[in-house]
Structure 1
Amino acid sequence: MALLHRAELRPSKLELLAGWLPGRQWFAGEAGAPVSRVAAYRFDDPAGEVGVETLLVRAGDGPVLQVPLTYRGAPLAGADEHLVGVIEHSVLGRRWAYDACGDPVYPPLLAAAVLADAGQAEEYFEVDGKREARPASMTLTGSRTGRPVPTGPVSAGPGDDGVTVVRVGDVELAVVRRPVPADVPAAGGLAGTWPGQDEPVLLAYAR
């Protein structure tokens, strides 16, 4: 479960990405163009400390880009190269936003979604002491491979063909940065749809 806050963010997530995305090798779109949100999904950090959100966005009229992010209340040691930027959150205070592929919290959560169809976190707002559900902006479908979800050391590195590779235990996962409709590999994958995108696009897969 992801508990959200009705808060003001400075800069906004999309403003942050407008400056960060053009420097990525996998970027496609107009550099300097406004970034718009297409859809999003979240995973739950079991420890409840780190926000884990994946944004699907466009820069100008460019293609859909997939940007997994983590939000932390303090800098992540040794992860400066993965820092997207710092956000001032009107409720939570200063938050450090990272490319989730470089955050150790993210790969095990992605592995559970890809290999065991763990799904996305349910989102709630707290209003006057009551929780109100926020409808999901997209649908996720993972594979039920029967493989155990790995635990153990995690790492990340560049991939090829517009993917970023993350590893957890003995499993290697490819995060598709420019997701398009594609078949889910036999080894397992994560696909998504959203309003206006009825044909599933491949978001991540085991390889």
Structure 2
Amino acid sequence: MATIHRTTMTPTKLELLAGWLPRQPWYRGTGRLPALTRVGGFRLDDPAGEVGIECIVVSDGTDGGATTYFVPLAYRGAPAAGAADGLVGTSEHGVLGTRWIYDAAHDPVAVAQLLALIGGRAEAQHQDESDTPDPSVGRHSAASERLVGGSPLRVEHTADGRTTIAVEPADGAPADRPRFLDLLRRPVPGAEHDPADGCVEIGWVRPDGGTARGRVAVLR
């Protein structure tokens, strides 16, 4: 399991996201730099121990905290080949040195672990504690086959708040139909979404201090 270091990052993750979010088609900003607060999330382990994976939920205070965003990130010790379109930025980690931080939709290891979580082959980890599973992260899967992201990854961002990643059977067998993993970038509390073959559901803190819960990833 990944170790969480109690150290500094310069710039911080939220500072990097404040510059990156307004450039995304699903961002609902007002033209001002977003004022972000972390309001939830979880981590996933890379079995090889090379890539840090953190699925962050942030609230944008420039609109009264009314908009919540789901932003999964992948942290690497070197640039990822073919993932330049997903680079959020670089940061100096107080223990690990320079970290290249990517939108996880563009990182094959992160996509593989999100699919493994949905399929019950990976366990969500606490966002702030090392070696600590997070049982509050719900998952469901009706798909029997093991799925992986395509190579190269095929990613599409849409203004309706979804990032869609094409997936395929891990054994290379022909798929009976196109399959996709959708990241719901603006999760809606308790909302029912399209029928799905699998999903990830998490909780987060609302601007009024209460809690909300909804889907952040859907397999279809």
TM-score, normalized by length of structure 2? 0.81
Q: Distance in 2 between matches of 1:152 and 1:133?
A: 26
Alignment of 1:35-46 (within 5 A): 35-46=36-47
In the other structure, the counterpart of 1:79 is 83
In the other structure, the counterpart of 1:55 is 56
Deviation at 1:153, TM superposition (A): 3.1
CA contact (8 A) 2:44 2:54 kept: yes
* Number of residue pairs the alignment of both structures matches: 199
In the other structure, the counterpart of 1:182 is 191
Letter in 1 for 2:156: P
> 1:104-148 CA deviation, whole Å, 9 max, x = no partner?
1122111122233743125676xxxxxx66685x82111142513
Residues 81 and 42 (structure 1), Cα distance of their counterparts in 2 relative to 1, 3 Å cut: same
The correspondence for 1:149, drawn from 137, 146, 151, is 146
Q: Distance in 2 between matches of 1:74 and 1:156?
A: 22
Q: Distance in 1 between matches of 2:147 and 2:133?
A: 30
Most deviating of 90-99 and 30-39: 30-39
Runs of 4+ aligned structure 1 residues displaced above 6 Å come to none
Alignment of 1:99-138 (within 5 A): 99-116=103-120, 118-122=122-126, 136=134
Residues 9 and 36 (structure 1), Cα distance of their counterparts in 2 relative to 1, 3 Å cut: same
> What is the root-mean-square deviation in Å for CA atoms of aligned residues?
2.3
Residues 56 and 74 (structure 1), Cα distance of their counterparts in 2 relative to 1, 3 Å cut: same
Q: Distance in 2 between matches of 1:92 and 1:58?
A: 28
Relative to its length, the structure with more strand (as a share) is 1
Letter in 2 for 1:202: R
> 1:44-97 CA deviation, whole Å, 9 max, x = no partner?
111100000111002222411011110000011222111100000011000000
In the other structure, the counterpart of 2:93 is 89
Q: Percent identity between the aligned chains?
A: 40
- Secondary structure of the equivalent of 1:139? coil
Q: Distance in 1 between matches of 2:70 and 2:128?
A: 23
In the other structure, the counterpart of 2:28 is 28
Q: Distance in 1 between matches of 2:149 and 2:13?
A: 31
The gaps in structure 2 that reach 5 residues or longer are 170-178
TM-score, normalized by length of structure 1? 0.85
- Secondary structure of the equivalent of 1:2? coil
Q: Distance in 1 between matches of 2:71 and 2:145?
A: 26
Letter in 1 for 2:98: R
Q: Distance in 2 between matches of 1:75 and 1:117?
A: 27
CA contact (8 A) 2:150 2:167 kept: yes
Residues 152 and 205 (structure 1), Cα distance of their counterparts in 2 relative to 1, 3 Å cut: closer
- Secondary structure of the equivalent of 1:108? helix
